[in-house]
Amino acid sequence: MVKEWFHYRSLRALTRGAWKYVFVKRRNLSIRRWRLFYRLRLLMVTAAAGLTQKFPRTSVRLWVDREAFPRIRKLISRARHTIIIQMFIWVDDELGRSMAQLLTEAADRGVKVYITKESVGDMFETRGDFLTTREDPREVWRKFWGHKNIRISHSTQADHTKVYIIDDHIFLLTGMNIANEYHESWHDYLVELHGSQFVRQYLTRSPLDRFAGSVRLVMNSEVRKEIRPVVMDLIHSARRSIVIEQAYFSDPLVIDALIGRSKEGVMVTVILPKTTDIHHYSNMKSLTRILLEGEQKHVQIFLSPRMIHGKIILVDHQHAFLGSANLITSSLDEMGEVNVLIDGKGSAAFQKLLDVLRDDLLISRPLNSPPVLAWFSGWLAWLKL
């Protein structure tokens, strides 16, 4: 791991990503032009082909762990005219190259491929950053970057979303970046939505006036920040139970709210990974607060042996909130994020989520007392490590 961080590509990606996150003004005119292009194109295609009438019903499917990328590949291979991808991390590894190859094959069929890669994510590409592949002599990258039907933008919008749009009516949102660990070992989710209304809402950054088939996109964008209000509303609306499964869990207002609800008799269950790639001490500090300040008989903490990267809030076994947003302050208030709020009544995807969470609890170890941490852990937690 140390060698990876000190490789020249790793250092260059880390420096570039950190510099752009801290110093670059997050206004990218090319992104705005692309969104306008998408907006106009979507309206034209919808009007000409009657896509709204062709896909009148909302379909929701859930894919977990190693199910996700085979499904993404299948949908990309079926694309007829347009693929749009927004990605935070894209690593030059086996999965990263296979996705580039698949998109090149789609472009060879005449499919227009539009990719927006977030430059802030570069700092996490420690084994081969995406931008360097532009000069890579290997055939897979040479064809990918040089294809006339593939347009790639390297933006600085602090956009943490991972989104795929297929042919203006299939919308995929996930917490999974394009890198081997997200497919092979990390625990995460992919939500597949059918309905042009979701594509339209995402590309135009407009709110939905009502639930579409009991499903609603919730976004943080340059236009509005919707994630935190929905998170807080969910927590405060709970009558019986709140289940949290997260990778990174440290926002003080969320912790305060969970502690308060436990004192009001709501059962609060938190599932976190035993160890994480980053943010471990911040997680442990949050768990310490909940165990010490919450009502013990209404608090359950579980540590999973797996690296959980999913971001789940389940309220009263009736409403689920999942997507790319972590329960950390930057994710709730600053970063671009896309989540989906699902009403679980009669939903197969919702039942699958319940089953997965049940399995996660079964393999996890309960934490009944605050974790024992070294004296410097507070500093590491303050640094969000």
pLDDT at residue 95 in the model? 97
Pairing of strands 241-245, 312-315: antiparallel
Report pLDDT for 277: 82
Residue type, 107: A
Answer for the pair 131, 16: CB distance below 8 angstroms, yes or no. Answer: yes
Q: Report how far residue 133's alpha carbon sits from residue 117's, in angstroms, rounded to the nearest whole number.
A: 13
E strand residue ranges, 124-234: 150-155, 162-166, 170-174, 189-194, 215-220
Q: How far apart are CA 152 and CA 80, in angstroms?
A: 19
Q: What is the DSSP letter of 123?
A: G
Q: Is pLDDT above 90 for 238?
A: yes
Q: What residue type is assigned to position 200 of the chain?
A: R
CA distance 228 to 66: 29
Q: How does DSSP assign 201-223, residue by residue?
A: HHHHT---SS-SSSEEEEEE-SS
The mean predicted confidence, pLDDT, of the chain is 85
Kindly indicate the confidence band of residue 49, based on its pLDDT and cuts at 50, 70 and 90: very low
Residue range 257-276: mean pLDDT, rounded: 97
Question: Is residue 39's pLDDT more than 50?
Answer: no
Token output for 200: 């339209």
Let me know if 364 is exposed, middle or buried by CB neighbors in 10 A (0-12, 13-18, 19+): buried
- Give the pLDDT confidence of 284-294 residue by residue, as tens digits: 999 999 999 99
What is the spatial distance between Cα 44 and Cα 52, in angstroms, rounded to a whole number? 12
Query: 165: pLDDT confidence band, cut at 50, 70 and 90?
Result: very high
Residue 167 contacts residue 82 (beta carbons within 8 Å): yes
Residue 346 has pLDDT above 80, yes or no: no
Token pair for residue 232?
């807080």
**Can you count the helices (H) and strands (E) in the chain?**
15, 15
Flag the least confident range among 104-108, 142-146, 219-223, 239-243.
219-223
Q: What is the pLDDT of residue 172?
A: 98
* pLDDT band at residue 339 using 50, 70 and 90 as cut-offs: very high
Question: What does pTM read for this prediction?
Answer: 0.86
Give the model's pLDDT for residue 35.
52
Pick from 256, 208, 263: nearest CA to 232: 256
Ordered domains of the chain (ranges, CATH): 2-204 (3.30.870.10), 215-382 (3.30.870.10)
